[in-house]
Amino acid sequence: MNVHVLPSGEVALAAAQALIVRFAVLREKEFLFLSSGGSSLALLEHLDAGPFGPHSTIGVLDERYSSDPSINNTAQLAATDFVIRARERGAHCIDTTVHPGETIEQLAERFELALREWMERTQGVIIASVGVGSDAHTSGVMPYPEDPAFFEETFNDDARWVVAYDAGNKNPLRQRITTTLPFLRRIQHPILFVVGESKRSAIAAMLAAEGVLNEHPCRIWREVPSAELYTDQVV
């Protein structure tokens, strides 16, 4: 993993520029851009939709099971100027908004089917903006130090790219749909945007020589050699 430490005010632009470079290289090739929600949406303000077109697809890295557009990640993503401009240029989008009467399990199945159909059809490249929580979660994969078996069964099953689960008291938004660790390992170009003093311990755990995924899921990015971390924290 390459680590870039910058002043707080420069991190978002630097991470966005890293994404822009990868989009530009793939301007005429099939690629999928998956955006994290939360603070990572700030990167979209700096992105240029120019490289996007019918060869490109946009989606989210994980989803919150809610019909509230202020909570659902895809609804928030779709409302950004960047995605509006990309769609005007012909970019496709993976829809993970909650359809009427759709259960959380059905949404997870629909999300997974969309990812697998995209991969089978294009054999393209996956680029992602990635966040890390102060608890060391990444995508929607929460830490389970108290239950390694549950963590392994839920998030590290090679047969599943997306899973739905109840995060309980681990997050205020407990109904989650997330890409799994086997899928995260498939991302060719993950760009991590992790800022703030509250993230320092999570970054330290991610970069430490030793550790386990069920305690610090963000360590999954150590398994992706091309991962780039942009942060304002020195650890």
Interval 71-83: pLDDT, tens: 999 999 999 999 9
Q: How confident is the model at residue 28 (pLDDT cuts 50, 70, 90)?
A: confident
CATH number reported for the structural domain that contains residue 188 in this entry: 3.40.50.1360
Q: What is the pLDDT of residues 93-125, one digit of tens each?
A: 999 999 999 999 999 999 999 999 999 999 999
Number of structural domains the chain divides into: 1
**What are the b/e assignments for 139-159, b being 16+ CB within 10 Å?**
bbbbbbeeeeeebeebbbeee
For the chain, the straight-line distance linking the first and the last C-alpha, in angstroms and rounded, comes to: 14
Question: What is the C-alpha to C-alpha distance for residues 124 and 127, in angstroms, rounded to an integer?
Answer: 10
Dihedral, CA of residue 169, residue 171, residue 172 and residue 175, to nearest 10 = -90
The residue segments making up the domain with residue 76 are 2-231
Count Cβ atoms below 10 Å from residue 87 Cβ, excluding itself: 15
Length of the chain as a residue count: 235
User: Residue 38's pLDDT is what?
Assistant: 84
* Spatial contact of 26 and 119, defined as CB atoms under 8 Å apart: no
pTM assigned to the model: 0.96
Is the pLDDT reported for residue 211 higher than 90?
Answer: yes
Q: What is the pLDDT of residues 35-77, one digit of tens each?
A: 998 888 999 999 999 999 999 999 999 999 999 999 999 999 9
3-state secondary structure of 200: helix
Q: What is the pLDDT of residues 128-183, one digit of tens each?
A: 999 999 999 999 999 999 999 999 999 999 999 999 999 999 999 999 999 999 99
User: Residue 27's pLDDT is what?
Assistant: 82
Contact residues for 185 (Cβ-Cβ < 8 A; gap 6+)? 220, 223, 224
Sheet containing 2-5, strands listed edge to edge, beginning at the edge strand earlier in sequence: 2-5, 228-231, 189-194, 125-130, 31-35, 56-60, 92-93
CA dist 97 → 30, 67, 78 (Å):
24, 7, 10
